[in-house]
């Protein structure tokens, strides 16, 4: 039977100068993106009438395009203006995921494997997606899979080709009864989870893996670090081993999808959502509601 390609929530996409409802068929079997993976995207959030750091997400998708050999055909400010236009198409009640995207339609004239930047296409997709319940927390297990280095994969871009690796991390973790996976880099140091950046707390000091180009040092991660420092916390970006997390007082994640979420289990160790985690979440949402460009 044919697969139902309709989106799973209300969705609007801007492409080729018009807004289209649903899931428009944009990529064919000869499209470079379809068979050779030349896609990049970014993800911002709209909720409660605000879209925190939307400008930074729009800037980053252009950097990702250039890192993958595509052409950034839209100015970041144009993408931001279109995003606010798209938000008006929704009911204003449910949170929205804002996803600008670039991909190549053709390969280059010298090698079909390399994308032709002149064939770059752009779309901006918005769809309803709830923020999730942070009180539920998240359980982690150590993944057997690793994050690649920039010499192996385009880890300096938010590229679609990176995500099958993340997906297998999640699938493997969930088969073992966990929500997500704690992921190491090729040297065995902790990098992130399969879908978010990671923090830990010991004796009131906040630690997070140093950005070493094996993972995307997220916009929300950057915001949380800055807010905690402004609030008087010591935040250390450094090399962290599994043993550091196994003995941490608190662990929490940051990411665009759900912002700040406590980790309540790491393998066989249960943890309680702690005061620093709660403060980090409060700081983020207080900042967002004051600076979210409503």
What are the tens digits of pLDDT across the range 163-185? Answer: 999 999 999 999 999 999 999 99
Please name the residue that has the structure tokens 């409503």.
294
How confident is residue 278, by pLDDT bands cut at 50, 70 and 90?
Answer: very high
The per-residue pLDDT for 268 is 96
The per-residue pLDDT for 133 is 78
The per-residue pLDDT for 292 is 60
Kindly tell me if the per-residue pLDDT of 294 is higher than 90. no
Cα–Cα distance, 256 to 260 (Å, whole number): 9
The answer for residues whose C-beta is within 8 angstroms of residue 72's C-beta and 6 or more apart is 61, 62, 63, 65, 66, 102, 120
Least Cα distance to 41 among 197, 291, 256, 227 occurs for: 256
The answer for residues whose C-beta is within 8 angstroms of residue 265's C-beta and 6 or more apart is 137, 139, 140, 178, 271
Kindly tell me if the per-residue pLDDT of 293 is higher than 70. no
Q: In sequence order, what are the beta bridge partners of 19? A: 14
How confident is residue 55, by pLDDT bands cut at 50, 70 and 90?
Answer: very high
Indicate if the alpha-carbon torsion angle 246, 251, 254, 255 is positive or negative: positive
8-45 confidence digits (pLDDT tens): 999 999 999 999 999 999 999 999 999 999 999 999 99
Kindly tell me if the per-residue pLDDT of 149 is higher than 70. yes
Cα–Cα distance, 39 to 37 (Å, whole number): 6
The Cα-based distances of 50 to 125, 166, 226, 248, 283 in angstroms read: 17, 29, 20, 34, 16
Cα–Cα distance, 277 to 284 (Å, whole number): 11
Q: In sequence order, what are the beta bridge partners of 123? A: 15, 101
Question: How many of the other CB atoms lie within 10 Å of CB of 151?
Answer: 8
Kindly tell me if the per-residue pLDDT of 4 is higher than 90. yes
Cα–Cα distance, 192 to 212 (Å, whole number): 11
């Amino acid at each position: 039977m044919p697969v139902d390609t309709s989106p799973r929530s209300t969705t609007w996409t801007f492409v080729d100068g018009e807004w289209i409802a649903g899931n428009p068929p944009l990529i064919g079997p000869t499209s470079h993106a379809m068979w050779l993976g030349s896609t990049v995207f970014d993800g911002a959030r709209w909720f409660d009438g605000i879209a925190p750091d939307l400008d930074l997400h729009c800037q980053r998708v252009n950097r990702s395009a250039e890192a993958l050999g595509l052409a950034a055909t839209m100015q970041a400010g144009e993408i931001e203006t279109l995003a606010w236009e798209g938000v008006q198409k929704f009911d204003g009640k449910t949170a929205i995921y804002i996803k600008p995207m670039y991909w190549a339609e053709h390969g280059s004239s010298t090698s079909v494997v390399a994308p032709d930047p002149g064939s770059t296409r752009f779309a901006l997709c918005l769809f309803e997606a709830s923020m999730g319940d942070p009180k539920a927390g998240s359980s982690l297990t150590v993944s057997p899979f690793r994050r690649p280095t920039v010499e192996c994969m385009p880890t300096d871009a938010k590229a679609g080709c990176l995500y099958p690796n993340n997906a297998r991390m999640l699938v493997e973790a969930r088969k073992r009864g966990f929500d997500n996976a704690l992921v190491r880099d090729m040297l065995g140091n902790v990098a992130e989870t399969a879908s978010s950046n990671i923090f830990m707390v010991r004796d009131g000091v906040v630690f997070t893996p140093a950005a070493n180009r094996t993972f995307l040092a997220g916009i929300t991660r950057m915001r949380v670090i800055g807010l905690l420092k402004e609030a008087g916390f010591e935040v250390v970006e450094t090399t962290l081993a599994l043993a550091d997390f196994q003995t941490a007082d608190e662990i929490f994640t940051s990411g665009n999808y759900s912002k700040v979420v406590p980790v309540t289990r790491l393998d066989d160790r249960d943890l309680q959502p702690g005061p620093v985690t709660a403060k980090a979440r409060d700081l983020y949402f207080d900042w967002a509601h004051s600076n979210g460009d409503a």
